[in-house]
Structure 1
Amino acid sequence: MDLGLVFLAIFALFYPPLGAKGLPSNGLSYGYYQKTCPQVEKIVRDSMNAFSSANPNTTAAILRLVFHDCQVGGCDGSVLLNIKDPQHQAEMDSPKNFGITNREVIDDIKSKIETACPQRVSCADILVLAARDAVAIAGGPTINVPLGRRDTTVAHSRQEADVGLPRNEVNLTKAIQVFSQEVSITLEETAAILGAHTLGVTHCDGLMERLYQNSTVLPPGSEAEFVKYLKKVCPEGGQGRFTTTLNLDPTPRTFDNKYYVNGLNGHGLIALDAEMARDPRSVNIFKKFASDQDAFFKVFSSAFVKITTLGVLTGDKGVIRKKCSVL
């Protein structure tokens, strides 16, 4: 099962204003459901614990899912929709959503919440809470997230996903441009969000451009040898392009700082992972996170809150869907 590229996603087309220190100024708030559904966070947490115990891959899948939701039209629950209209190619029809799994987890959690608090909690908020809990369950930080998102009333199209979801081979210069200028995310926060690659796997298909179309000449050493190894595992034109998977870091079910250690050792799997581990602009951040996991957790938490407030619908915009997979 593909848990895919957990991160390469945050280049959304819609960016809301952010308040001081990255706190949302767009209608979200902490403790939003305190009066209307005070048990919502416990229901999500208990459900995620159960799903993760049954299938440890759930944590990476849900973390990837929230990033893919937020990058196409904003964090509005659109990625959860099942659209079966032959006249409409939906968001999930995009090849860039290849390997997206576990969407039914959110529908299951939603049904439990509907029993306790009918028509109170949005699918978009449930997905953010589930992703937050996925990080904690896998050993990462417990993140306090603002709530109050509402769900989209329009199914986003394949074309929107094709445009909104970036190519696998985004480079550092482009990442810095998008994050710093358009999303108010610092270079340190960019490096921290990339640390989401501490969970899950990717298919060989996600490495083809790096391995066979990248003009970067690597000096002799561990990274060059690692690329040779990857080419053996993922040969150009090989039959396993969409079936062979590789761990994103040595501990793919644990949210830790091994991703940074791995990158500094020349074993960054995705092109941007490898580039940031050697680029003078970011290598010291990688070294900091590799030696100080708490520092990584702190910065990741800040960036997670910023990203999951992108393009949200609040107030009288959007709806509260009864079932997350149905408009």
Structure 2
Amino acid sequence: MAVFRTFLGLVVVTLAVSATLSAAHLEGFNFGSVGSQGLFPEFYQSSCPQVNDIVTSVLRRAIEKVPRVAASLIRLHFHDCFALGCDASVLLDNSTIIRSEKGAKPNVNSLRGFEVIDEIKAKVEEACPLTVSCADIVALAARGSTVLSGGPDWVLPLGRRDSITASAEASDSDIPAPIPVLSALITAFERQGLDETDLVALSGAHTIGFAKCSFVRQTRKSVCPGRGGDNTPAPLDFVSPTRFDNSYFKLILGGHGLLPSDQVLLTGKGRQAAELVNTYAANESLFFQQFAKSMVKMGNINPLTGSKGQVRKDCRHLN
């Protein structure tokens, strides 16, 4: 779905915002101390207590250099979780035994942020060898990118392990297609244990996103050239493209959603999605709370825990 295939763009970091990104995140939205199948926020409290400080340090530098990378990292987490679960399978490169998900239609020439994950992993390995999984690093990077752009914080369950397989087929079949049909988007989310509320809330990440002009030339004529420039990025939220806020929903209400899959949120027989768009446009705090809750819920999709999988030393390759 274009609703998430275009999670690109972002962010100016302020000291006031980054100061809230503490190692423990005890002040973030807390939706329960234990996540799916044994995940819990204190998983690395003894084995690698500095992991979030490392993640934040790398993210801050990366975002200052290339602001778009923050939204890319949120999107990377989404594409990982929707293809067989949040297991870092999306990070694996091609090998004699792996057909990488990076070549799947939703991902090829589209997903970004891999180098940032590599840098985080390298620094975490220096501090805590073979301890913190790539899957948890992806989840931590998505949260950190949200907070550093002015969005909500949340208590993040940890303890995921890394897949020893990948599935380009699952990426092709399970990541929602860019079609402006609300019922199809809802069905794709329901297959992952998510609901219509999650769909609308997570779509709000487009507040910091960009899309290629090849997809949105008709709706962003002021930004996209009439000819050529297919790869020119156009902001999904032209009011505050580098700040995580609720202006995305206000734009949809005004008919200014960049993508058909944005405006389609105002359709549907039950009107639940449309009502949520109105609610989030009027109340940013409610949007932030639900976005955080939905990110935790998405991050709990089919994790590998215990002795399943492995903790990769290099996120691109199996041990």
TM range (shorter): 0.7 to 0.9
Counterpart amino acid of 2:245?
A: D
1:5 aligns with 2:14: no
Question: Residues 51-130 of structure 1 correspond to what in structure 2 (within 5 A)?
Answer: 51-84=62-95, 89-97=99-107, 98-130=109-141
The verdict on how the C-alpha distance between 1:131 and 1:40 changes in structure 2, with shifts beyond 3 A counting, is: same
Is the contact made by 1:22 and 1:184 (CA closer than 8 Å) also made in structure 2? Answer: no
The SS at the match of 1:197 is: helix
Point out where structure 1 has 5 or more consecutive residues left out of the alignment: 8-19, 209-226
The verdict on how the C-alpha distance between 1:196 and 1:51 changes in structure 2, with shifts beyond 3 A counting, is: same
The SS at the match of 2:71 is: helix
* Deviation (angstroms), 1:286: 1.0
2:202 to 193, 215, 231: 193
The SS at the match of 2:261 is: helix
Q: What residue in structure 2 maps to residue 49 of structure 1?
A: 60
Q: What residue in structure 2 maps to residue 134 of structure 1?
A: 145
What is the alpha-carbon distance in structure 1 between the residues aligned to residue 67 and residue 265 of structure 2? 28
How many equivalent pairs are there? 289
What's the Cα RMSD here? 2.7
Structure 2 length normalisation: TM-score?
0.82
* Deviation (angstroms), 1:260: 0.4
* Deviation (angstroms), 1:95: 2.8
* Deviation (angstroms), 1:54: 1.8
Q: What residue in structure 2 maps to residue 222 of structure 1?
A: none
What is the alpha-carbon distance in structure 2 between the residues aligned to residue 229 and residue 119 of structure 1? 46
Runs of 4+ in 1 over 4 A off after TM superposition: 20-23, 227-235
**Can you list the C-alpha shifts for 1:230-262, whole angstroms capped at 9, x where unaligned?**
599587xx6444x13321112221111010011
The verdict on how the C-alpha distance between 1:310 and 1:83 changes in structure 2, with shifts beyond 3 A counting, is: same
What is the alpha-carbon distance in structure 2 between the residues aligned to residue 90 and residue 282 of structure 1? 34
**Can you list the C-alpha shifts for 1:19-58, whole angstroms capped at 9, x where unaligned?**
x989633121121111111111111112111211222112
Question: Residues 146-185 of structure 1 correspond to what in structure 2 (within 5 A)?
Answer: 146-154=157-165, 156-169=166-179, 171-179=181-189, 181-185=190-194
Point out where structure 2 has 5 or more consecutive residues left out of the alignment: 9-30
Q: What residue in structure 1 maps to residue 234 of structure 2?
A: 246
Q: What residue in structure 1 maps to residue 14 of structure 2?
A: none
* Deviation (angstroms), 1:93: 1.2
1:25 to 36, 45, 59: 36
The SS at the match of 1:6 is: coil
Counterpart amino acid of 2:82?
A: Q
**Can you list the C-alpha shifts for 1:155-187, whole angstroms capped at 9, x where unaligned?**
x243332222221115211233343x4444343
Q: What residue in structure 1 maps to residue 46 of structure 2?
A: 35
What is the alpha-carbon distance in structure 1 between the residues aligned to residue 112 and residue 132 of structure 2? 22
The SS at the match of 2:36 is: coil
What is the alpha-carbon distance in structure 1 between the residues aligned to residue 219 and residue 91 of structure 2? 38
1:266 aligns with 2:264: no
Is the contact made by 1:79 and 1:91 (CA closer than 8 Å) also made in structure 2? Answer: yes
Identical residues among aligned pairs (%): 35
The SS at the match of 1:26 is: helix
Is the contact made by 1:168 and 1:206 (CA closer than 8 Å) also made in structure 2? Answer: no
Q: What residue in structure 1 maps to residue 155 of structure 2?
A: 144
The SS at the match of 2:310 is: coil
Counterpart amino acid of 1:96?
A: P
Q: What residue in structure 1 maps to residue 311 of structure 2?
A: 320
The SS at the match of 2:211 is: strand
**Can you list the C-alpha shifts for 1:297-327, whole angstroms capped at 9, x where unaligned?**
0000000001011121100100000011112
Counterpart amino acid of 2:261?
A: L
The verdict on how the C-alpha distance between 1:171 and 1:67 changes in structure 2, with shifts beyond 3 A counting, is: same
Structure 1 length normalisation: TM-score?
0.80
**Can you list the C-alpha shifts for 1:256-305, whole angstroms capped at 9, x where unaligned?**
10100110010111222101135533222111111111110000000000
The verdict on how the C-alpha distance between 1:56 and 1:228 changes in structure 2, with shifts beyond 3 A counting, is: closer
Is the contact made by 2:176 and 2:188 (CA closer than 8 Å) also made in structure 1? Answer: no
